[in-house]
Structure 1
């Protein structure tokens, strides 16, 4: 009893089912099973007996854990059946961060929701015994109650669900910016340390820029993907061919926007048996490549210079063997995945003249790839 009260931060008379469940899960299941009868008697003696349904469900869940047959979902569902544990993922796909990953806002909102649910249990609006029995009607009402709370503004105007999502987005963007800034500093260090600096092939750049301008005026793939990568669906093309080329090359490493809306996008993605279009596949691959993989691949090409093979298979191998990034040993599945993503990259590179028809790095690619990557990773103000 002392452990449960200390774990929950409450006296025995105020303990909830959730408090007891979380305390039981905080110790080895065998220990919890042995302590269960004494804990039940102690709770009864304090005038807070909980219910037979709860104790039976606790014994069954702990027994399943001890036997090694309980899943994480089973345990989560049991804690949620206490009536005051927020649902990890709501029917509208709102997901609470893991406890050790919650920021101040998520922690505040989670605590507020627990208090709200405790009020609803006290008011008789939530029946924990029905939840423990697995009654679907009770579960549906429990989910709806939380969905409503998450979408209802608080007194200060904040909407709990949006507040938590916004905080997660800010954390994600901050981590992304930090990773990008580090990758940019490493790229500059590597390029500055090259034995021979890439030279600007002015004639090739102008010719490639002119060809690219003509290509971007066409409908369909690859023009639509290249326009989306550079953000040219929302703004006009620059007058300078070199500036145009660098913007598109940078966009391949860091797509600026998605494809322009066409058709019923929701219907397309809801068709699980259908295949993604060439455009969607290309953009998905570009967005899935990590900063470290871009850095490793481009650094390797910059060191070797024009004339080196830059096929998807070769890029995957260069990344796997790179000493510029910290990475675990790649297995065949990792190599296949990287190769698949760079198949889209190398295909688009060919339209810019970064590689030739044999997937061999050109002088233009040697000069332009590091500059394109630097542009993609530089802050917008730069």
Structure 2
């Protein structure tokens, strides 16, 4: 897990809210400022802060009136929270395969899986690579799961502006964090924004502008605190430079690993700008003795921390057994044993040393 990168400015922003004595509430000034900054960064009119990326996806599904009897298509290669909000609204996740190069949802698999019950597609911008939203059905609502893709763009459009609505996460290991947790819904749809604002705070509406309130629907306590919002906004100001730096280091890693037999660096689709939350390589079957496990062992011995990337796809997650419609996912199943996350170093020199260590480990594993 990436350690949260907190600066003195982030701490000062949190202390300012703590010192104010007013810490929470959906209309907290710090929350409103964070929402304004998020909307501006993604060039959309509406941003609604919530307390997690999972809550953001749940609220979007509720705002789209998706429920029992409906289906929502999700990719097999993603974190479980892409699919569980579908269960939370009583709908059925339909798990489909992914593209072999970008690891994002496969448009052809979506076309095969859709039915008369299909009400939406969740396009996950996996590892920071934009999903092919432009190739997904135009007659279905597309939900951008942008929880891993802060700062990514597709054809110069921020991922937060792709689809009917986008969900972001600000958990502690994301490129930007809201003091450990947090999320947001971004959308150009005024009705979705209104609905999410209602749901995040117990669906409470004031009566005639007075102190009394009605609770007009089943709502939730999905509010973000002022402290979290202040830290998130402080971090957001650094996002463009952070993403530029990660892209530069990732490109250096890709060049350094280009001729490493048995190892494929991350692909980037033409027109996409990858945010590189994760740098994930693919190991070719049979070319590296012992496969991913042996490569991890050798790199660990060299002081390089690595992690398998989604070794259990959604096709095999127990929570979805009997509650999801699972389509054939040969690509996701194959990649489950082959994808490896490498660290993204801070400097070019460290990137070069990492490439040397990886090449050495691969060579040792091939002997």
Give the TM-score, by structure 2 length: 0.24
Give the structure, 1 or 2, with the largest relative contact order (CA under 8 Å, sep 6 or more). 2
Larger relative strand fraction? 2
Q: Of the two, which has the highest radius of gyration?
A: 1
Larger relative helix fraction? 1
Give the TM-score, by structure 1 length: 0.23
